[in-house]
Structure 1
Amino acid sequence: MASRQKRKTPKDPNAEREAARYSRPIASREALLRLLHDAAEPMSYDEVAAALEFTHEDDLEALRRRLKAMVRDGQLLLNRREGYLPVDSENLVRGRIIAHPDGFGFLVPDEGGGDLYMNPREMRALMHGDRIVARITGVDRRGRREGAIAEILERANSTVVGRIAVESGVTVLVPDNKRIIQDVLIPNEYLEGARDGQIAVAEITDQPTYRRQPVGRVTRILGDRLAAGMEVDVAINSHGIPSDWPEAVERETAAIDDEVAAADKKKRKDLRKLPLVTIDGADSKDFDDAVYCESKWNGWRLVVAIADVGAYVEEDTALDAEAERRGTSVYFPNRVVPMLPEKLSNGLCSLNPEVDRLCLAADLRIGKDGTVERIRFVEGVMRSHARLTYDDVANILLHGDQNTRERFRKVVPHLENLHGLFKTLLQARRRRGAIEFDSTETEIQFDDDGRIDSIEPVERNDAHRIIEECMVTANVAAARYLQKHKMPALYRVHNGPEGDQVDELRTFLSERGLRLAGGSEPGPKDFSRVLEEAANRPDAYLIQTVMLRSMQRAVYQPDCTGHFGLGLDEYAHFTSPIRRYPDLLVHRAIKHRLNGGKPRNYSYEHEDMVRFGDHCSLTERRADEATRDVEAVLKCQYMQEHVGSEFEGLITGVTSFGVFVVLNSMYAEGLVHVTSLPKDYYHFDPAGHSLTGERSGRVYRPGDPMRVRVTRVDIDERKIDFDPATDGDEGGKRKADGGVGRGRSDRKTASKKKAASKKKAASKKKSSSRRRSRKKSPAAGKAGAQGSD
């Protein structure tokens, strides 16, 4: 074997890491970036190798691969002269394209900072989701940084789903995803029997360029547009959600035993006698958490046991690769696309009652003020002592139902302890100022033909909140444990509003006599105080809406910077590894440390977590967009049967072209176009979020009641059009001189009336549009606010 040659490398802050991972370590990515950044001009491959004094064939090949990977990941750019330069120089920015249906788009930088505006000409060569390196070309007339394509790193769309349209002998596929702004040209020889009007999937054979639209080949015909269940198939294909299991995954799954093997229980803490229970919705099938509480230590002992998914989904397996690719389970109103095969999600990893299951448990000591005083994690084997629904818990704790209490008499004392702990944790939540927005969640109910039967509000009670607070507490414990031991991991991060968002919000509130304290960086307590002050005002809905829109979206990242909405300094997702890949990564990090591992010999490092965080945040957004699309289509189908009918509604949004109204009884949203409002000249005030009639003085604002008539439903565009039910003062009752309408009380009254008729025949199928995500999230509304944990 040739002796290792002496090599000169830049001062490498990660040399020890590289030496631990490779038998012949070369310069780390960080060192290469520094070398290229300090160079006077872009360096060729030969020049980089010479600077490092590499001559050994293995070193040269490793360097070539690393430089190629850095170009692929957008860290480096290879120019036309075959020179490498770092992307953070030469006004270059790498990121992902977010397309707008009107033809323009934005590049969202990987490293944060302001978005780059991409004009329609640049967008002709791009599709939604593409990753590119852009060159900053200047500032447009609206003061936005503008970019142009420097390099396309990754194409996001290998297939597109949409409607086949034939015009003048030319066949195109009109994408269902409105952010894909180019129609896909389908040559006749690639139609594969697809007919005009059918929904099909096309493989992109030629990506778009500045001069040519994308070209594709039909690979699958989904069927007719209005077929039952078609909306879910379209969403799955349109958003690129993996739904079929690769053969390698099926082979690995088949090899797993149906029951927990005796050997797997060894060297684990035996928790089977601890009366852990699961509390879930009535239609849940995957139970990934169980809880137990006792009054102890002048406070509480809380045990949160989570299914040990990592015991079955190991690194570098097909199961792991597929779970990472999916990122999350996707819960449609009438179907689930799981992250893990059913054998695991509903079987071995589901904490079903009276069977042994492997778990990773957080055993926590909580003080009487709600502070977590001791954190201990254990790998255990457990046995759920009861499977309870939220209704069961509510009947036991809130309604005193003797039949239910007798049925679960063995665990009633522990449930009462949980209720006592919940009250303590709730007080702690309020003290730290966690933001709580008032919102209405809905549940879609279907008939036997798979059509919407009704849309009902979801009634939440202390039973839901008990589990939410327990899960939040366990998530905080996981984050603190990982921080303490400096393990590379993913944290759930929600940053507060910044810069212009704060200034605009403060201006809006001051005009309404409200003050947002906290200076340039207001905290959660400052937001909560404003919400409390506005709670009983007629314009409370408008104030809440504007504050909600000022929030950023919660994301996954390896830097623990806290969760603004929950008012927490540390937060990670630990409690749902069956349905979220970040939770599985957190489990692996905790188990590595429990088994004596250190950060330096962990199989993941910080840059891996950066990649995981970006991917998991993307798959979460993908799932949210897909479920919203399905719900929008279902509601459009439902409202088609009600064209011409009149309903009471609530204005939820105001734009220059009209007002958006949500129906009180059906929770479907539609647009009252400005031309349908009573005849007048209307002026839009973006700061005041209002539309004002010049002559009549009518003012339309979010939170105003409005009676409307359904006039048109477009399923393809997912749009519902309303007209005011009369041309009198039914809507816009607030006058410019300061009179106010009734606000949100009408909506709440309608919700309560509707909730009273919630029980349906047993034959009707129920499905929640949030299901498991509601159980785990301590809030609702825009991601990252009160409860998008």
Structure 2
Amino acid sequence: MSNTFEKRKKVIYDFICDDFYVPMKFKEIAMILQVPKEQRDELRAVLEALEQEGKIFVSKKGKYAKGQAKRLTGTFQSHQRGFGFVIREGEDEDVFISEDNINGAFQGDEVEFVITKEKDSQTGRRTEGKIVRILSHGTTHVVGMYEKCKNFGFVRPDNQRLLSDIYIPAGKEKGAVSGHKVVVELTSYGSENMKPEGYVVEIIGHINDPGTDIMSIVKSFDLPVEFPEKVMNQAERVGKDVSDADMAGRKDLRDWQMVTIDGEDAKDLDDAVSLTKKGDNYKLGVHIADVTNYVQERSALDREALKRGTSVYLVNKVIPMLPQKLSNGVCSLNEGENRLALSCIMTVNPKGEVIDHEIAETVIKVDRRMNYTSVAKILEEHDENEIAKYEELVPMFELMKELSHILREHRKKRGSIDFDFPESKMVLDENGRPIDIKPYDRNVATKIIEDFMLLANETVAEEYFWRELPFLYRTHDTPDEDKMKRLSTFINNFGYHIHVGNEVRPKEVQKLLGKVEGTPEEALISRLALRSMKQAKYTPENSGHFGLAAKYYTHFTSPIRRYPDLQIHRIIKENIRGRMNDKRIEHYEKILPEVAVQSSMLERRAEEAERETVKLKKVEYMQERIGEEFEGVISGITKWGAYVELPNTIEGLVHVTNMRDDHYEYWEEQYELIGEHTRNVYKLGQSVKVRVLDVDKLNRTIDFEFCDEDEEYDS
């Protein structure tokens, strides 16, 4: 930067710091300093430089004032294009950090920053900032591919947010050779002229070895795989068969007709259901494995479960929260076995309202282990073989279908939002390679279990809210007003309207989803509506669940695979047993805030890891099909191209540079790509034929190109 510019900066800074100066706008400063119009751009550049340095700041009204802006803290997330964002706890909006203002921050760093430009809702400009200090490094280990050079090596990180290779000095590679996926511990985070440095602490496997790809994702998210020996020994000791002493004092429900209904390959069966009808009312029992009987507070098992937070379901493996001796053994509600449970027994009227309930420690025995496919065959396909096989249970299944419909309608009336995106069902061979991918749609059986679990969760949450005891709730706050206004503006382009007043109501979002159902723009608008929502989380305070339009909600039904469920089971049991005294209340009030934050964070980590493994397998699947053609639907339109989704849920991008029949312009108001010469149009929901052009395993992206671009495929 020139000395002249620095001198001008000093002059302007001294002017603003003068005792007689009062905050004023740019034009006022220019007039007082008599800056000619042709030099005002330079004045603006000087003010921006001072602002970015944190020496002055601009108020919301655009007035420049002396003094440093308030210093804030957050976590830095870098972007592969060089810029980044700071994420602040409890804030919905991230702060944009330009490449010039990163100040050496590394992915995951805890940083101190100042706001340099306030958000402007009218122009759509987001809040911008400058990092002024790195408080602590959040990334200590990096997963990537090792490459050997003459007398040193380097690791190319899998995480594209890490913008630089990691230098590995000679002798620090731990025997790794080119092509090995490794874990590196960082010893230096680099600088403007130096790469980060580290040493190899673990070799995951060669890039071509089966399982290395998934294990690389596991390691990159720092997911604990193996259980410590102390935890395994404890699981072995406590995982004994249910004894008479275990069952003593519990409500005995072993003569009740009940079943588990899960996926065919499920092994941790933590919920069973029973249902009878007396007069007009239904008696629904939701019976949940009493995991707390085996996982005592502060034990090695409990500490490990809290550290994991949740089970993680990857495409080819499960990383359980608890050892299999418990999760697939004595805590699993296996057919024909005596099992300890915590039951929520509800009396439901014909309107779908719970008019009476009981939460009790019970002992149960499941009659049959059912799966979703079998129950759906009975209820939807009326399959004679399945009906004959489960003849004694069919009346209960019919009753379940009846009650499920009532409960769903009841939720719909109050405004519950149902985002029904098809999940991907992966079929892998023995080496973990995908041989088929198809949408995993919800059927009548999955909806029955979903409806019954939701009702139990609401019922338990409401009781403990009114008991005024420490508790963990599953909360989903009202969406941010600005995000909903942006959604409202967007859907106006398609002729839809959503009422955005002082507070948007879930019924409005539900109505919108109903209107777009079956339309070409359904997928896009549903996804944008979902992104406009806040993330659900665990909190010790009950603020309701916006998406479910529920005043009270918790997670009670999966203590094998979610720590918050395990935690509230302890509270419920202590209350049932009359042990919830002042000392125990104080104890839970102290620990629950931290449990809530940690559980929410670990849940997000698990979801991201699951999502990345699915994306990886989709890319692997399409890698074998480069050059093949597929029918699909345009699911998104942007200035850089058109996203196309195939019937099997795989999505790829047709980049504008690969639309070679014309130069395509993005028409933002119509969300269309229009050819400059041909006037050919690509729009949302349009049926198209695409060819697989290329895949990128590192970025987990798929590139398509349109086939026969001179031919239209109308939806």
TM range (shorter): 0.7 to 0.9
CA contact (8 A) 1:122 1:210 kept: no
Question: Which amino acid is the alignment partner of residue 601 of structure 1?
Answer: R
Q: How far is 1:279 from its partner?
A: 0.5
Counterpart secondary structure, 1:162 = strand
1-side partners of 2:210 and 2:571: how far apart?
43
Deviations 1:523-565 (A, max 9, x none): 1211222222233444334433432332222222222222222
| Aligned amino acid, residue 171 of structure 2 | E
Does the 8 Å CA contact 1:199/1:224 hold for their aligned counterparts? Answer: yes
Aligned to 1:660: 643
Deviation at 1:97, TM superposition (A): 3.2
Aligned to 2:643, what secondary structure does the other structure show? strand
CA distance in 2, matches of 1:519, 1:695: 43
8 A contact 2:109–2:134 mirrored in 1 = no
| Ranges of 4+ aligned residues in structure 1 off by more than 6 Å | none
Query: Within 1, Cα distance between the matches of 2:158 and 2:98?
Result: 22
Contact 1:177 1:239 in 2 (8 A): no
- Higher alpha-carbon deviation: 502-511 or 240-249: 502-511
Partner residue of 1:108?
A: 87
Structure 2 residue aligned with 1:759: none
CA change 1:586–1:670 in 2 (3 A) is same
Residue 557 (structure 1) aligns with: 539
Q: Secondary structure at the residue paired with 2:344? A: strand
Confirm or deny that 1:163 pairs with 2:145.
Answer: yes
Residue matched to 1:199:
181
- Corresponding residue number in structure 2 for 1:177: 159
Instruction: Rate the CA distance shift 1:210–1:484 in 2: closer, same or farther, 3 A.
Output: farther
CA separation of 1:505 and 1:469: change in aligned 2, threshold 3 A? same
Q: How does 1:535-614 map to 2 (within 5 A)?
A: 535-596=517-578, 597-598=580-581, 601-602=584-585, 604-606=587-589, 608-614=591-597
Given candidates 594, 605, 617, the residue that maps to 1:634 is: 617
2:604 maps to 621
2:393 aligned residue? 411
Aligned to 1:669: 651
Residue in structure 1 matched with residue 304 of structure 2 by the alignment: 322
- 1:506 corresponds in structure 2 to 488
Question: Contact 2:345–2:359 at 8 Å: present in 1 too?
Answer: yes
If the length of structure 2 is used for normalisation, what is the TM-score?
A: 0.84
Secondary structure in 2 matching 1:481: helix
Does structure 2 retain, via aligned residues, the 8 Å contact 1:649–1:663?
Answer: yes
Gaps of 5+ in 2: 1-67
Deviations 1:86-125 (A, max 9, x none): xxx9834343333322233222222335323334356564
- The equivalent residue for 1:713 is 695
CA spacing shift, 1:325–1:644, aligned 2, 3 Å: same
Q: How many angstroms does 1:267 deviate by?
A: 2.1
Deviation at 1:194, TM superposition (A): 0.9
Task: Give the corresponding residue for 1:342.
Answer: 324
Change (3 A) 1:176 1:503: same
The 5-angstrom pairing of residues 222-233 of structure 1 reads 222-233=204-215
Distance change >3 Å, CA 339–CA 407, structure 1 → 2 = same
Matches within 5 A, 1:115-130: 115-120=94-99, 123=102, 125-130=104-109
Quick one: which amino acid aligns to residue 197 of structure 2?
V
RCO higher in structure (CA 8 A, sep ≥6): 1
Pair 1:239–1:391, CA change in 2 (3 A): same
Supply the RMSD in Å over aligned alpha carbons.
2.5
Residues 322-342 of structure 1, C-alpha deviations (whole Å, 9 max, x = no match) = 111111111111111111100
Specify the code of the residue in structure 1 equivalent to 2:83: F
For residues 361-412 of structure 1, give each alpha carbon's deviation from its aligned partner in whole angstroms, at most 9, with x where no partner exists: 1111212111122232111111111111112212332333343333323333
Change in 2 beyond 3 A, CA 1:715/1:541: closer
Q: What do residues 103-148 of structure 1 show as CA deviations (whole Å, max 9, x unaligned)?
A: 3322222233532333435656444444445444554994414142
What pairs up with 1:31-70 in 2 under 5 angstroms? none
Tell me how far 1:203 sits from its aligned partner: 2.0
Match of 2:253 among 268, 271, 294: 271
1:693 corresponds to which residue?
Answer: 675
Match of 1:647 among 622, 630, 635: 630
CA-to-aligned-CA distance 1:657-685 (integer Å, 9 cap, x gap)? 11222223x43222211011144343334
**What is the one-letter code of the residue matched to 1:649?**
G
Letter of the structure 1 residue corresponding to residue 163 of structure 2: I
Q: Which amino acid aligns with 1:620?
A: E
Q: Which amino acid aligns with 2:72?
A: V
Aligned length: 643
Partner of 2:64: none
Note closer, same or farther for the CA distance 1:172–1:316 as it changes in structure 2 (3 Å cut).
Answer: same
Q: In the alignment, which of 213, 216, 222 is matched to residue 240 of structure 1?
A: 222
Tell me which residue corresponds to 2:262.
Answer: 280
**Equivalents in 2 of 1:419, 1:387: separation in Å?**
18
In the alignment, the residues of structure 1 paired with residue 661 and residue 386 of structure 2 have an alpha-carbon distance, to the nearest angstrom, of 59
Distance 2:357 2:574 in 1: 16
Take 2:690 and 2:408, find their aligned partners in 1: how far apart are those partners?
40
Q: Does the 8 Å contact 2:418/2:510 carry over to 1?
A: yes
Q: Is the 8 A contact 2:557 2:565 kept in 1?
A: yes
Contact 1:707–1:730 (8 Å) recurs in 2: no
Query: What is the deviation of 1:356?
Result: 1.1
Cα distance 1:602–1:262, how it changes in 2: closer, same or farther (>3 A)? farther
Mapped partners of 1:173, 1:299: distance in 2: 65
- Name the residue aligned to 1:96: 75
Q: Find the residue that maps to 1:638 and give its secondary structure.
A: helix
Partner of 2:240: helix, strand, or coil?
A: coil
Unaligned stretches of 5+ residues in structure 1 = 1-88, 732-740, 743-789
Specify whether residues 446 and 312 from structure 1 end up closer, same or farther in structure 2 by C-alpha distance, changes over 3 A only.
Answer: same
CA displacement at 1:353 relative to structure 2: 0.8
Q: Tell me which moved more, 161-170 or 566-575.
A: 161-170
- CA–CA distance in 2 between the matches of 1:707 and 1:615? 45
Counterpart code for 1:185? Y
Residue aligned with 1:507, SS:
helix
Deviates more, 1:233-242 or 1:397-406: 397-406
